Amino acid sequence: MVIASAMTHRSGIKGGAGLKVTLYVVPGSNASLTGRLLLDHKGIEYERKDLVPAAHVGILKSLGFPDMSVPAIKIDGRRVQGTLSIARALEQLRPDPPLFPVDPARREAVEDAERFGEQELQHAARRLFYCAGRREPENFTSVVLGGETNLGPARRLIVAAGARAILWAATRGHGATDEACRHAMSDLPRMLDRIDAWIEGGLLDAEVLTAADFQTGVNLRLLLLFEDIAPWIEGRPAARLAHRVAPVYPGRIRAVFPPEWLEPLHAAAPPRPDA
Ligand SMILES: N[C@@H](CCC(=O)N[C@@H](CS)C(=O)NCC(=O)O)C(=O)O
């Protein structure tokens, strides 16, 4: 069975001194999109290989990656996995445009916001995505298969027909239980306030984007696909950042959450009039 086919992204220079860069992703995955945007920001040419979700774990292993998660990149045979490590490897490979400020205090602040985006916000968005998919598998397939992918027809069929099984595996792998999702939802107001404060303080969404913008922006953009959640984010500074960092995030996540899950979000702020 074909496990991955490729697409070459010629957004700019080669990896550097003729380097060959391959990016492994799962279509629709928030962390994968962060990896792609980091490479695009650097203008590094790469070949993208889309993997079937859940099956990607075994494929990465067979390719010699130590961890089970995407994004994963090979830079001339050197394996780097995880968005934090990828950002640092790319910064080393091609310092301009930078992903991190030179000033040590500012770099520390950017790294704090980056970690928050990579851990708290990314987990919350992913878990909510799986919870919404369990309630309505089309919420899952519209995101995974909704964009341009290089999964061929057979693998698209595997994703569509296997959505429930993939969601079961992902729920286990990422602890995306209903309880965890309800907690994630109730924590969104705090996370959104924190991001808006960073933006208003000039740490995020400044003139030059940093690794922290890519981490937070992509996960906010995924949250904007949720019909249940988007009206409470649109119109906020956080939404502006999300649209700037990730203008396109295919898919539509229809309203599926019980009203009581949404109460903390609704209680925190009214939806913006322009949402
Ligand atoms: N926080 C890491 C995690 C990435 C992650 O969990 N990726 C998911 C897809 S969105 C994945 O590969 N999950 C499969 C697994 O961890 O077994 C990052 O930013 O790179």
Number of the ligand 1 atom closest to the C-alpha atom of 57? 17
Cβ of 73 below 6 Å from ligand 1 = no
pTM (two decimals): 0.94
Written as tens digits, the pLDDT of the chain (275 aa) is 344 456 666 544 445 557 899 999 999 999 999 999 999 999 999 999 999 999 999 999 999 999 999 999 999 989 999 999 999 999 999 999 999 999 999 999 999 999 999 999 999 999 999 999 999 999 999 999 999 999 999 999 999 999 999 999 999 999 999 999 999 999 999 999 999 999 999 999 999 999 999 999 999 999 999 999 999 999 999 999 999 999 999 999 999 999 999 999 999 877 766 55
Q: State in Å: Cα 203 to ligand 1 middle.
A: 26
Q: Give the residue, out of 59, 70, 172, with the most ligand 1 atoms within 8 A of its beta carbon, to mutate for a pocket test.
A: 70
The closest alpha carbon to 5, from 33, 27, 20, belongs to 27
23 contacts 48 by C-beta, under 8 angstroms: yes
- The residue whose CA has the least distance to atom 2 of ligand 1 is 82
7 strand-pairing partners: 48
